[in-house]
Structure 1
């Protein structure tokens, strides 16, 4: 399950980055109220790109450069370390001190006598909930698709695709 847990943590890191980008887009939209809608769509496409693709581009002009992440590797920014489940005192660095304090205070520390690190248990549970959510969404999408396909199968053409 280690691979799935790594994918889950990577997804969390991408989601944190996407939330920062979404906040920047919302602020930019306030400034561009009178601009054509195509600019709004272009701004939201940046958020979509960040949520879909597991890699990012770095630039010296990046707004995310204002936030100091824990680690930046070649493919993505890590606010939550990949080995957080193995740390004695797990920490998260989102770049916002008040959020860091609240999250880090609630994270369980490793118990030396215990056979399992409590943080590893939480990561495993989060991964399972994430996978169950994916399965529920896929089943829901397939059900909706099959229901729509059944309704469309009884449609008759009147004239020229009407």
Structure 2
């Protein structure tokens, strides 16, 4: 890949991710946010795996500084990292079907991790299998919204990038490294 084309790809992908992070700051339905789409997109399109983790993490963290942090953030960030890893599986295999599977897989992974975190760190649930199940049941309405948001934002970000690729030759080179 030519250095100039790589630079264009990095700047474009980073700009898209940071622009999406701004949407977290706007009013929205609970859990309908671009977080998973940002992570999947970074994993799928950055040539460098470090960049795929760092850029989306920085965008997420900066928006979290404004929105506020809480005691189970480690579980949120772990879910985010796993979503980037799921995005790695999309690298050079981005299709509608593969992306749909990645959205569902990352949504389920994030749901399981973050509700486990809520069970572990909050005083809302007893520390038993029953309490864990209560945490998962309580999270179902948020999961539905999360899945909806992840799907919509993935369509926008992956579809929008595909349109850019059709019009900007530098974005068409494979993101291999």
Calculate the TM-score normalised by the size of structure 1: 0.29
Calculate the TM-score normalised by the size of structure 2: 0.27
Task: Give the helix-richer structure, 1 or 2.
Answer: 2
Larger RCO: Structure 1 or Structure 2 (Cα < 8 Å, ≥ 6 residues apart)?
2
